[in-house]
Amino acid sequence: MRLIDGYDAALFDLDGVLYLGPQPVPGAVAALQALDAEEIRVLYVTNNAAREARVVIDQLRSLGYSADDHNVLTSAQVAAAGLAEQLPAGATVLCAGSPNLAGLLERAGFEVVYSAADKPVAVIQGYHPKMDWRVLDEVCLAIQAGARWYATNDDASRPTDRGLVPGVGGAVSVVRLVVGGEPIVFGKPHQPMLREAMRRAAATRPIFVGDRLDTDISGANGVGIDSLLVFTGAHGKEDLVQASPEQRPTHIGAGVSALLAPVRPLSLSADRAECRGQVVTADQGRAVLAGPVPPGAEEQLDVLWAVAQLAWVQPELDCRALLESLTLVR
Ligand SMILES: [Mg+2]
C-alpha cells in the first residue's frame, strides 16, 4: 500500500517542502502532478502572513504546481476569519502587520487603525518586512490599555538564502518582554490553522507534509492528524532522533514523493528496531546497525527510521556514530 492510500487529503507546508527560495524542490512537482492526476485533494498551508494568497498562488503556479484560491491557505486569512469570530462586528483593530493583513481585516469588516490612541479593542501582529519599530510602541500601549493581543503566527525565524533572520515571533517576543502574557496565535503549530485547513480540504483523514518538527509536525499532532516529515528543508536526522513526543512524525520520507511510495514498515521491541531488513539494536547504550551501512538513500532512511524509533523509547541511547554514518541523509 502506498502512503497516500491511507488518507483522503494531503496538506502541504511550502518552504522547504515544495520550494527552496526560488526553486522547486527536486521531484516535488512531479509528485504533486501525480496526486492531481488521481484527484487527491491537496491544500497548501503557509504561515507567511505578509504575502497575499494571490502571490502565493502565482508563485506555486510558476513553479509548476496547480494552485488556486480554493487550495491555498495563509495564516493571515485564518487570523482575519478568527478575529471575525471573536470580536464584535466592525470592531477597531490595530494592525501591526503587512498591507495584506490590513486588507483582509478590512474585508472582514474591521476598522483598521495604527495607533493606540484610536482605542483598538484588539491588536494583531503579523510579519511585515518593513515593520517600523514605532508600531511596537503602539502595540504595547494598546495592550496595556486593555486591547486583546493576537498574532498571525509566531515563527521565531525565517530561512533565507543568506541564513536565518527574525520572523514575526521576534516582534511578538519584544512585546511579551514589555507587557507579559501571551497572544492568541492562529498559524502553525497552533490549532486554528490546522483546523481550517482540514475544513477547507473537507478531509476526515488528511496527512500533513512538512519539514519542521516544531511547527508542521507538532501542529499535526496537536489536532490529531498524521504527518510526513521530509528532509528537503529545515530539519534533519539529528532533529528527528531528538524529537520530543509531541514533535514526532507518523512517517518520514526523503521528499514529498514518499507519499506515492509504500509505507515504511517498522517492528520495534525494547532493544531492537527493524525497518525493511535494516536492524538496529541498543548495545551497551549505543545504537548499532546489524551489517554494513547500506549504499542507497532510501535504505539509509530505513536505518534512520529504526534508529529514531529505538531512541524514542530509549532517550539515553547514543546514536551519534550511527547517524554520522548515514551520509546520504541530511
Ligand atoms: Mg517549511
Of the residues 13, 154, 155, 302, only one is catalytic, namely: 13
Quote the pLDDT of residue 111.
Answer: 98
Cell of 145: 490599555
**Would the pLDDT of 166 be above 80?**
yes
* Average pLDDT of the residues of the chain: 96
In this predicted model, what pLDDT tens digit does every residue of 229-243 receive, in sequence order? 999 998 999 999 999
C-alpha–C-alpha distance, residues 134 and 142, integer Å: 13
Q: What percentage of the chain reaches a pLDDT higher than 90?
A: 94
Quote the pLDDT of residue 158.
Answer: 84
CA of 321 to the centre of ligand 1 (A): 28
- Domain ranges (residues) in the chain: 3-47+189-260, 76-185, 267-325
For domain 76-185, the CATH class is alpha beta
Q: In whole angstroms, how far apart are CA 158 and each of 95, 170, 234, 270?
A: 21, 10, 10, 39
Q: Tell me how many degrees the CA angle 75-76-79 measures, rounded to the nearest 5.
A: 85
Find the mean pLDDT for residues 100-113: 97
Give the residues across from 229 on adjacent strands: 210, 252
Of the residues 8, 15, 68, 226, only one is catalytic, namely: 15
Find the mean pLDDT for residues 159-188: 93
For 3-47+189-260, CATH number out of 3.30.1310.10, 3.20.20.140, 3.40.50.1000, 3.20.20.105 equals 3.40.50.1000
CA of 47 to the centre of ligand 1 (A): 9
Helices (H), 112-264: 133-144, 168-179, 191-200, 218-222, 237-241
Task: Using only the alpha carbons of the chain, give its radius of gyration.
Answer: 21
In this predicted model, what pLDDT tens digit does every residue of 28-78 receive, in sequence order? 999 999 999 999 999 999 999 999 999 999 999 999 999 999 999 999 999
CA of 227 to the centre of ligand 1 (A): 13
C-alpha–C-alpha distance, residues 237 and 116, integer Å: 46
Domain 3-47+189-260 identical in fold to domain 76-185: yes
State which residues have CB under 5 angstroms from ligand 1, the bound ion: 13, 15-16, 211, 233
* pLDDT-derived band at 3, boundaries 50, 70, 90: very high
Quote the pLDDT of residue 219.
Answer: 97
CA of 232 to the centre of ligand 1 (A): 9
CA of 220 to the centre of ligand 1 (A): 13
Quote the pLDDT of residue 159.
Answer: 73
* Catalytic residue check, 15: yes
